[in-house]
Structure 1
Amino acid sequence: MSSSNSVTVQILDKEYSIICPPEERSNLVSAARYLDGKMREIRSSGKVIGADRIAVMAALNITHDLLHNQERPEATGTGVNREQVRDLLERVDQALADDQDSNKG
């Protein structure tokens, strides 16, 4: 994919460039904003220190909410399914791995 398919998002004061099809740009930006908000909530609580731990706690909280909402029939139709969540998590994992590689050099 070309760099024109790259989207830059900011999560917890760090920028991440993520390759994304144009039709998914707004969804990715929304997901990044949501994740950023959750991570800031966790950081401001003062109970978790370190970006990696904050990210894991945010992922666990978001996943818990998603699975809890899937158990309730009235929560269907949210437009989010397991495949989309898996895809986004893979993108975040790749962005974090790329970021760690670039910080080593």
Structure 2
Amino acid sequence: MSDSPRSTVEITLLGQSYTFRCAKGEAEGLQRAARYLDKALAGVKQRAGGMSDEKVALMTALNIAHELLQALEARGELEEQASRLGRRIDTALAKVRLAER
């Protein structure tokens, strides 16, 4: 077992409360994540009509996984753009330094 300090966090998903243990200092982030998840679950449940809670959970998980992959791809593109800009800046600085000699 870990010796790191632990705390508990209570979250509510689709009207049902759950209590989890978490590392100290993570409760606020987990509560934010739970609010996001609960909102996503409620949205799928509302749009899906009579879908079972299990299918609502699976559909919501798929939607969130899709959002995550899109965000990771966008992040990768932004990192590549930043890298290209950094190389252009380095090239421009090298030219300026050469011209100053």
Larger Rg: 2
TM-score (norm 1): 0.63
Residue 18 of structure 1: CA displacement?
0.8
Does structure 2 retain, via aligned residues, the 8 Å contact 1:42–1:58?
A: yes
RMSD of the TM alignment (CA)?
2.4
Q: Give the TM-score normalised by structure 2.
A: 0.65
Give the deviation of 1:22 after TM superposition.
2.1
Unpaired stretches in structure 2, ≥5 consecutive residues? 79-101
Query: SS where residue 23 of structure 1 aligns?
Result: coil
- Name the count of aligned residue pairs: 75
Question: Aligned ranges for residues 14-93 of structure 1 at < 5 Å?
Answer: 14-47=16-49, 49-73=51-75
Q: Decide which structure has greater strand share.
A: 2
Change (3 A) 1:46 1:62: same
Deviations 1:68-92 (A, max 9, x none): 111113787xxxxxxxxxxxxxxxx
Percent same amino acid among aligned pairs? 30
Unaligned ranges ≥5, structure 1? 77-105
Measure the CA separation in 1 of the matches of 2:44 and 2:62: 12
CA contact (8 A) 1:69 1:75 kept: no
Q: Which has the higher contact order (CA 8 A, sep 6+)?
A: 1
